[in-house]
Structure 1
Amino acid sequence: MTASASSRESQSLKRTVLGARRPSNIFWAIVLTGGGAGFLLAGLSSYLQINLLPFSDPTQLIFIPQGIAMGFYGFAALGLATYLWVVISLDVGGGYNEFDKASKRVRIVRSGFFGQNRRIEINQPLTDVTAIRVDIKEGLNPKRALYLRLKGRPDIPLTRVGQPIPLSELENQGAELARFLQVPLEGL
């Protein structure tokens, strides 16, 4: 590595943010797709009196109310699975945080849903950064996140949504970022 490449790396910090393409989302999308298809086929089998499932005989079900209920659960599960597959394919929430001392800019980029604001991008000067805030809430629904504090703007989340980050990793990321930007670390 050359000296100029090394100094360039020390001038820039870029972190990717995991979006909806998490293994847990893919697992639940697969489970909902399979379960929803099974329930829907069971409902249709009870209506048509033709066995559409190879592993059971739902033709024995009475269509009203059992077949209708199975069909409803199948439609609901397939609707939720479709939503999950769309969110996964769009990688909603995925992106990166880039802090560049050479250009004196902070760039936060995230993917969103369809439409005009599909790509969410925040581009601010480094001088607007006032602090890095750590938010830790324990309990039934724990929350551990890093936020970027900017002058005149609401705090911007820097970490992924969903599963809480381990406390030691959160502290290390926050301390590293605060040290790099030479701003205080709040919340610890």
Structure 2
Amino acid sequence: MNWRSELIWIELVMGSRKTSQFCWAFLLLLGSLGFLLVGTSSYFGRNLIALFPSQQILFFPQGIVMSFYGIAGFFISSYLWCTIFWNIGSGFDLFDRKEGRVCIFRWGFPGKNRRILLRFLIKDIQSIRIKLKKGIYTRPVLYLEIRELGLIPVTRTDANLTPREMEQKAAELAYFLRVPIEVF
């Protein structure tokens, strides 16, 4: 949910509580438990899972490897569930022309730096910059170029915006903040 008026623009940023994140964490948990049960059943020589007869899987080396994959998958799944629980990456962007301030807030991992808060003046914004991020698939990323701070990303890393939608968002933000747009 985003909110805009003539003087204030608030944009909420969704963190790691997304449907895809839940699906990956759940599938990884189920898969790792399956690997761990098969490795454990090969060690004991009993069928703990009816679908996989343990007599066909020797503990050394297959059972050890499957147990290792199960433990590793369980730790990765635990990490994903923790990021979902703490909602890492969520927050908001606040652009206030009335006060002349910008506030970017994100939640991080627990600890002394859990709250990530950046505050600066609108007059310190030099431009809105669009960069094409190269990789498996090229995607545009929107940055604020701030005097003495450099580039600060405004869009989420997983935002699936087309280049046209990104240009429109950059144009609206640049018009609202009254700064120029640069494309790289």
Unmatched tracts of structure 2, length 5 or more: none
User: Are 1:149 and 2:153 counterparts?
Assistant: no
Quick check: 1:109–1:121 contact (8 Å CA) kept in 2?
A: yes
Superposed CA offset, 1:78-113 (max 9, x none): 111111111122222211111011121100001111
Identical pairs, percent: 40
Contact kept? 1:144, 1:164, Cα under 8 Å:
no
**Bigger mean CA offset, 93-102 vs 47-56:** 47-56
Aligned to 1:66: 62
1:15 Cα deviation (Å)? 0.9
1:114 aligns with 2:110: yes
**TM-score, normalising length: structure 2:** 0.91
Q: Which runs of 5+ in 1 are unaligned?
A: 1-7
Contact 2:92 2:105 in 1 (8 A): yes
User: 2:160 matched to 1:158?
Assistant: no
**Superposition deviation, residue 37 in structure 1:** 0.3
Change (3 A) 1:80 1:151: same
Structure 1 residue 73: deviation in Å?
0.6
Q: Distance in 1 between matches of 2:155 and 2:182?
A: 16
TM superposition outliers: structure 1 runs of 4+ over 4 Å = none
94-103 or 135-144: which moved more?
135-144
Number of equivalent positions = 181
Q: Does 1:18 align with 2:17?
A: no
Are 2:25 and 1:29 aligned? yes
What letter matches 2:119 in structure 1?
N
SS of 2:150 mapped into structure 1: coil
Establish whether residue 169 from structure 1 lines up as the match of residue 146 from structure 2.
Answer: no
Q: Is the 8 A contact 1:39 1:73 kept in 2?
A: yes
Pair 1:182 & 2:178 matched: yes
Shift of 1:139: 5.3
Structure-1 residue corresponding to 2:96: 100
